[in-house]
Structure 1
Amino acid sequence: MRVKICGITNLKDALDAVEAGANALGFVFYEKSPRYIDPLEARKIVDLLPPFIQAVGLFVNESSKHINDICKVSNMQLAQIIDDKDNTDFDNLNIKYIEVVRAKSKEDIQNLDKNSYYLVDAFVQEFGGAGKRVALEWFDSIDCSKIILAGGLTSSNLKELKNYNFFAVDVSSGVESSKGKKDTEKMKEFMKSANEK
C-alpha cells in the first residue's frame, strides 16, 4: 500500500520516513499549524531526498498564485489543497494537485467525481493532524481505488482497511512523538503494517 507521511518539519524525520519506506512526504504550508514549515526550509529538505520520493505541499484556502509561488520556491511536485472557501482557481495552477475532501457524511464521498483522485479526511474544525477517523462504513459499496484515506490512522488500525482497496493512506499524528516531530519506530511499524495488507 502506498503511504504518505505528512507534517515533515526537519531533515532527520524526512530521511527516517524514507528509510521506513514512505512513498511521499507532506510539508504543511498552513501557518497556523504546529507542523508548519517555511518554504525555504522545506526546499532544503526536498533537495536532499532520494529519487522517486514525492514532495507534497499542503495548502488551506489559498489563492492559485500563492500555491504556485510556494510550490516553486519549495520544489514541491504535488499540491494537496483544502479549499473550503473557494479561494483556489484550480485552472490557474501550474502544478499537479489533489483536492482534500473533509467528509462530514457518506454523501460527501458518494458525490465525488469517479474519474478524479481525492484525499478524504475526517471533518474537524482545525486543519489536519487531529487524529480523527472517517467512518469506514461510509466507503461500503464505493470504489476506493482513487481515494487516499487520511485521519486517525495508526499501525494498529490499518488492517481494518484490508477490504476497501484505497489507492493510498496519509498519516501524520499517528507516527508522531509530539506535534511536528516524528517517531522513527512508529513510522517503521506503520510501514510494516501497510506492507502486510
Structure 2
Amino acid sequence: MRVKICGITNLEDALEAIKAGANALGFVFYEKSPRYISALEAKKIVDKLPPFIQTVGLFVNESSKHINDICFLAGMQLAQIIDDEDKTEFDNLNVKYIEVIRAKSKEDLENLEESYYLIDAFVEEFGGAGKRVALEWFDKIDCSKIILAGGLKASNLKELKNYNFFAVDVSSGVESSKGKKDKEKMKEFIQKAHEI
C-alpha cells in the first residue's frame, strides 16, 4: 500500500520519511496549522529530494490562483484541496489535484464521482487532529481510489486489511511533537502499511 507522510517541515524528516519508504510527502500551506511551511521553505526541501517522490501541497479554502502560485513556487506536483467554502475554481487549476472529503457520516461517502479522493474525519480544525473515520462507513464501497487519512498509526493499520484502499496518509501518527516526525514511528508505520 502506498504511503504519504504529511506535515513535513524540515529536510531531515523528509529524507527519513523517504528512507523509511514513503511514496509522497505532504507540505501544509495553511497558515493556522502548527505544521505550516512557507512556499520558499518548502522549495528548499523539495530541491534536495531524490527523484520519484511525489510532492503534495495541502490547501484549505483557497483560490485557484493562490494554489497555482504556491505550487509553482514550492515545486508541488499535486494539490490536496479542502474546499468547504467553495473558494476553489477547479477548472482554473494548472496543477493536478485531489479533493479532500471531510466525512461527517456514511452519506458523505456515497455517490462520489469516479475520481480519486482523500477521505479524512471531519474536525473543526483542519488536519493532524488524529480523529478516525468509522471504517464501517466503507463497507460495500469500492475503496480502490480512496486515500484514507485521520487517526492512523502503525498499531491500527491492520484493521484496513480487507478494504483495498489506494493509499494511506499520516501526519500526527508518526510525530514526536507537532511538526516533528519520529524516525522509528515512520519506519514502523510504513512497514505495517506494506504488509496490508
Q: Where on the TM-score scale, by shorter chain, does this alignment land: which range? A: over 0.9
Shift of 1:111: 2.3
Partner in structure 1 of residue 181 of structure 2: 182
The DSSP-based 3-state class of the residue aligned with 2:155 is coil
Partner in structure 2 of residue 152 of structure 1: 151
Note the alpha carbon deviations across 1:156-183, whole angstroms, 9 max, x for none.
Answer: 0000000000000000000000000000
Note the alpha carbon deviations across 1:96-142, whole angstroms, 9 max, x for none.
Answer: 000000000001001211x1000000000000000000000000000
Partner in structure 2 of residue 52 of structure 1: 52
Shift of 1:196: 1.0
Paired with 1:58 and 1:20, the residues of 2 have a C-alpha distance of 22
Partner in structure 2 of residue 164 of structure 1: 163
Partner in structure 1 of residue 91 of structure 2: 91
AA of the residue aligned to 2:30: Y
Partner in structure 1 of residue 41 of structure 2: 41
The DSSP-based 3-state class of the residue aligned with 1:8 is coil
Paired with 1:80 and 1:191, the residues of 2 have a C-alpha distance of 21
Segments of 4+ moved more than 6 angstroms? none
Partner in structure 2 of residue 24 of structure 1: 24
**Which structure 1 residue ranges, 5 or more long, are not aligned?**
none
The DSSP-based 3-state class of the residue aligned with 1:152 is coil
Paired with 1:30 and 1:166, the residues of 2 have a C-alpha distance of 26
The DSSP-based 3-state class of the residue aligned with 2:4 is strand
**Which structure 2 residue ranges, 5 or more long, are not aligned?**
none
Q: Alignment length, in residue pairs?
A: 196
Question: Percent of aligned positions with the same letter in both sequences?
Answer: 83
Shift of 1:59: 0.1
- RMSD between aligned residues: 0.4
Partner in structure 1 of residue 107 of structure 2: 107
Paired with 1:147 and 1:185, the residues of 2 have a C-alpha distance of 26
Paired with 1:98 and 1:196, the residues of 2 have a C-alpha distance of 25
Partner in structure 2 of residue 133 of structure 1: 132
TM-score w.r.t. the length of structure 2 is 0.99
AA of the residue aligned to 1:61: N
Paired with 2:103 and 2:112, the residues of 1 have a C-alpha distance of 11
Partner in structure 1 of residue 82 of structure 2: 82
AA of the residue aligned to 2:155: S
Shift of 1:195: 1.0
